């Protein structure tokens, strides 16, 4: 997090109480209720989680609620058998809610592309797809990579995999072919589900050709399914005989019922790749019973969701937010979910407010980056629309600066909607720290207090509780990841080594105030959060040093007005090579090829030398100081102090 942001949240003192109108009908109606119940769930977590899980359907009950004997490898609802799709769909149909809207989808091109799927429609489509996958020979435990735009088939195919116990790994459609290949190779996916194209700001993204390039040498892939995005002829794409199949053809004659696989609680439901401090992105493992229970409980507590709500989370299903709070959590709660394919500023900057007005959205969940962009685009856009249907607002993905919080509160919430600032991660499966909207007085910039069953603290390196330090989670919870695919050691090292396995270490800095409220300060490792997207600086550095003219590269995160943080790369070229615009272009192209456009650095600064300690370690702290225009921190350990002065000049010139 930037210094200025840190200062503004350090001095922030305003408190906003939930309105009595909201509290009166809320699931948790007061801070006292929250505190009493939270204390109970900490002293007896097993009873709490058993009662939550007991509201869901199980083919066979669990024999033990949790098993920590192999910690940090954890088990929840041991021996229980269930299927998450039965709980997301069949359960609601059995309760007579089959005709309730499950998904209201709108494509980027507008009106003509709107589609509503009731719970019954979803049942039919998911089951037809599952039967088609079965016919292709796919079975429980196989892996399927899903690379689709935000269209209903993204939800349908993901759920169809879950119905059969095929482990899905959804890949955000902004990732490049190299990223897809890395993920497929890592998990040995047999199947790839993609589309002939998707719309983004009036342009067609040729997803199938990106997949074709990705899987040229992937021996594990035996089948590719292509969803036809539009109504007419498909977008131009190659179809490889034998391997590739059109989605609409393979599902057309399939029966509408498909027996759900009886999944063990600890059978893997999905993998989701995310960036870490070192190496390639890691496949975070989530299993069935615990993830389901946690997504169910956190959705209803944080969003106070009701049958009549129209809920819209503007994330993409390709990220964890979309998994837990577009797909699984809301569907487990029988919600009506809005799903939107396009960008917030296409065809104009009022698109989101138009959708809220059109569908009478009651709960809206978005990222601080988006809020800052809306602020920049001007108040006239939201003011043109009737946003009076909104009753609750949420944010996720990065710290929210108080200015953005207040704008959201005033302009979008009409000073009438509680704001839930939700802190969590891919690894945690669901929200961990957040206000409960009817109970928790909010402070702009603070994610406030831990949810039920979660014990959070701020510790120093030695494990002592401090006011400002590292965020730590003391206990375990059902939704926590079960490991990293194929890399047990990395799982132990990354999350459990800091305090001898006693606490989960998320990699974030935090501050705790006099009311016990938590203020998340951002990552303390070499992961940068650009517009809420996690990017490992080591990943980018290894891409840059792969360029034949680059000797050395250091990438840091620097404060950015809209994106929260942006990437700045400091690069040393080979002697005699000119720092030309062509080289910048080549370096950016390498990032686009290897990761995707969203990871292209904001600035590339060429430097004859990088600041290093006498033992040769690059001092990134100083690079951050330079990028954020701060007075230098301690420079006494620098091998050559003149390097910093030269870099400062270069930075100012660029």
Binding site for ligand PRX (CB under 6 A): 274, 320-321, 396-399, 421-426, 447, 506-508, 520, 522-523, 529, 534
For ligand PRX, give the closer residue by CB, 106 or 421: 421
For ligand PRX, give the closer residue by CB, 433 or 607: 433
Q: Which residue has the tokens 């977590």?
A: 45
Q: How far is the CB of 471 from ligand PRX (least distance, A)?
A: 8
Q: How far is the CB of 183 from ligand PRX (least distance, A)?
A: 15
For residue 437, how many other CB atoms are within 10 A of its CB?
27
Q: How far is the CB of 12 from ligand PRX (least distance, A)?
A: 14
Quick check: 594 and 179 in contact, CB under 8 A? yes
Quick check: 620 and 576 in contact, CB under 8 A? no
Which of 196, 189, 192 has the alpha carbon at shortest distance from 157?
192
Distance between CA 426 and CA 522 in Å, rounded? Answer: 15
Q: How far is the CB of 351 from ligand PRX (least distance, A)?
A: 22
Q: What is the DSSP letter of 102?
A: E
Q: What is the DSSP letter of 136?
A: T
Determine the Cα angle at 246 with ends 241 and 250, to 5°.
Answer: 105
Beta strands in 341-407 (DSSP E): 363-366, 392-396
Q: How far is the CB of 84 from ligand PRX (least distance, A)?
A: 19
Q: How far is the CB of 483 from ligand PRX (least distance, A)?
A: 16
For residue 59, how many other CB atoms are within 10 A of its CB?
13
Q: How far is the CB of 404 from ligand PRX (least distance, A)?
A: 12
Give Cα 161 to chain centroid, integer Å.
Answer: 20
Distance between CA 567 and CA 599 in Å, rounded? Answer: 8
Distance between CA 496 and CA 74 in Å, rounded? Answer: 12
Q: How far is the CB of 396 from ligand PRX (least distance, A)?
A: 5
Q: How far is the CB of 408 from ligand PRX (least distance, A)?
A: 13
Which of 286, 635, 524 has the alpha carbon at shortest distance from 427?
286
For ligand PRX, give the closer residue by CB, 80 or 344: 344
For ligand PRX, give the closer residue by CB, 300 or 534: 534
Secondary structure of residue 273 in the 3-state scheme: strand
What sign results for the dihedral spanned by CA atoms 295, 300, 304, 309?
positive
**300 - beta bridge partners?**
none
Q: Is 582 exposed, middle or buried (0-12, 13-18, 19+ CB in 10 A)?
A: exposed
**Token pair belonging to 374:** 């809306």
For ligand PRX, give the closer residue by CB, 228 or 624: 624
Quick check: 410 and 416 in contact, CB under 8 A? no
For ligand PRX, give the closer residue by CB, 152 or 506: 506
For ligand PRX, give the closer residue by CB, 152 or 318: 318
Q: How far is the CB of 415 from ligand PRX (least distance, A)?
A: 21
For ligand PRX, give the closer residue by CB, 98 or 453: 453
Q: Is 137 exposed, middle or buried (0-12, 13-18, 19+ CB in 10 A)?
A: exposed
Q: How far is the CB of 444 from ligand PRX (least distance, A)?
A: 12
For ligand PRX, give the closer residue by CB, 333 or 428: 428
For ligand PRX, give the closer residue by CB, 293 or 448: 448
Q: How far is the CB of 272 from ligand PRX (least distance, A)?
A: 9
Distance between CA 451 and CA 436 in Å, rounded? Answer: 8
Which residue, judged by CB position, is nearest to ligand PRX in the bound state? 426
What sign results for the dihedral spanned by CA atoms 370, 375, 380, 382?
positive
For ligand PRX, give the closer residue by CB, 397 or 611: 397
For ligand PRX, give the closer residue by CB, 264 or 421: 421
Q: Is 455 exposed, middle or buried (0-12, 13-18, 19+ CB in 10 A)?
A: middle
């Amino acid at each position: 997090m930037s210094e200025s942001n840190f200062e503004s949240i350090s001095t922030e003192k305003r408190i906003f109480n939930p309105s009595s109108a909201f509290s009166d009908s809320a699931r948790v109606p007061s801070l006292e209720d929250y505190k009493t119940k939270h204390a109970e769930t900490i002293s007896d977590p097993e009873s709490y989680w058993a009662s939550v899980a007991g509201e869901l359907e199980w083919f066979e009950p669990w024999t033990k609620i949790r098993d920590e004997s192999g910690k940090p490898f954890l088990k929840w609802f041991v021996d229980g058998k269930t299927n998450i799709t039965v709980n997301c769909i069949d359960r609601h149909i059995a309760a007579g809610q089959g005709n309730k809207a499950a998904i209201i989808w709108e494509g980027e091109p507008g009106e003509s592309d709107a589609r509503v799927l009731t719970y019954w429609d979803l049942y039919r489509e998911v089951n037809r797809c599952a039967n088609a996958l079965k016919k292709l020979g796919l079975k429980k435990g196989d892996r399927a990579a899903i690379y689709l735009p935000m269209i209903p088939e993204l939800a349908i195919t993901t759920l169809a995999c879950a119905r059969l116990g095929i482990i899905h790994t959804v890949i955000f459609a902004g990732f490049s072919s190299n990223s897809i290949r890395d993920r497929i190779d890592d998990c040995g996916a047999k199947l790839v589900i993609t589309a002939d194209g998707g719309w983004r700001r009036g342009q067609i993204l040729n997803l199938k050709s990106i997949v074709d390039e990705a899987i040229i040498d992937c021996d594990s892939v035996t089948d590719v399914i292509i969803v036809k995005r539009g109504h007419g002829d498909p977008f131009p794409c190659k179809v490889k005989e034998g391997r590739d199949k059109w989605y609409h053809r393979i599902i057309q004659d399939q029966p509408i019922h498909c027996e759900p696989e009886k999944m063990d609680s600890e059978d893997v439901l999905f993998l989701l790749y995310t960036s870490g401090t070192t190496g390639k992105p890691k496949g975070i493992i989530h299993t069935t019973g615990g993830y389901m229970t946690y997504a169910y409980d956190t959705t209803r507590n944080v969003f106070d969701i009701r049958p009549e709500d129209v809920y819209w989370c503007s994330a993409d299903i390709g990220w964890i937010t979309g998994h837990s709070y577009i797909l699984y959590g809301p569907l487990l709660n029988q919600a009506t979910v809005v799903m939107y394919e396009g960008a917030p500023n296409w065809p104009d900057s009022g698109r989101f407010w138009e959708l809220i007005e059109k569908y009478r959205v009651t709960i809206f969940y978005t990222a601080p980056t988006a809020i800052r962009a809306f602020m920049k685009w001007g108040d006239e856009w939201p003011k043109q629309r009737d946003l009076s249907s909104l009753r609750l607002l949420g944010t996720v993905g990065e710290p929210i600066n108080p200015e953005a919080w207040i704008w959201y509160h005033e302009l979008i919430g009409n000073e009438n909607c509680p704001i839930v600032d939700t802190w969590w991660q891919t690894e945690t499966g669901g929200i961990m720290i957040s206000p409960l909207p009817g109970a928790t007085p909010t402070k702009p910039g603070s994610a406030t207090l831990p949810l039920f069953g979660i014990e959070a603290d701020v510790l120093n390196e030695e494990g002592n509780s401090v006011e400002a330090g590292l965020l730590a989670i003391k206990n375990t919870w059902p939704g926590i990841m079960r490991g990293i695919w194929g890399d047990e050691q990395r799982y132990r090292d990354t999350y459990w080594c800091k305090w001898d396995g006693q606490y989960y270490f998320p990699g974030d800095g935090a501050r705790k105030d006099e009311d016990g409220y938590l203020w998340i300060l951002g990552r303390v490792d070499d992961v940068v959060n650009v517009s809420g997207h996690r990017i490992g600086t080591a990943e980018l550095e290894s891409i840059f040093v792969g360029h034949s003219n680059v000797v050395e590269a250091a990438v840091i995160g620097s404060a950015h007005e809209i994106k929260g943080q942006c990437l700045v790369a400091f690069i040393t070229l080979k002697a005699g090579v000119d720092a030309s615009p062509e080289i910048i272009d080549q370096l950016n192209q390498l990032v686009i090829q290897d990761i995707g456009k969203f990871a292209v650095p904001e600035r590339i600064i060429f430097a004859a030398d990088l600041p290093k300690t006498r033992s040769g370690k690059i001092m990134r702290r100083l690079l951050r100081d330079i990028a954020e225009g701060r007075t230098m921190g301690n420079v006494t350990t620098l091998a050559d102090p003149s390097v910093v002065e030269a870099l400062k000049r270069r930075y100012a010139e660029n």
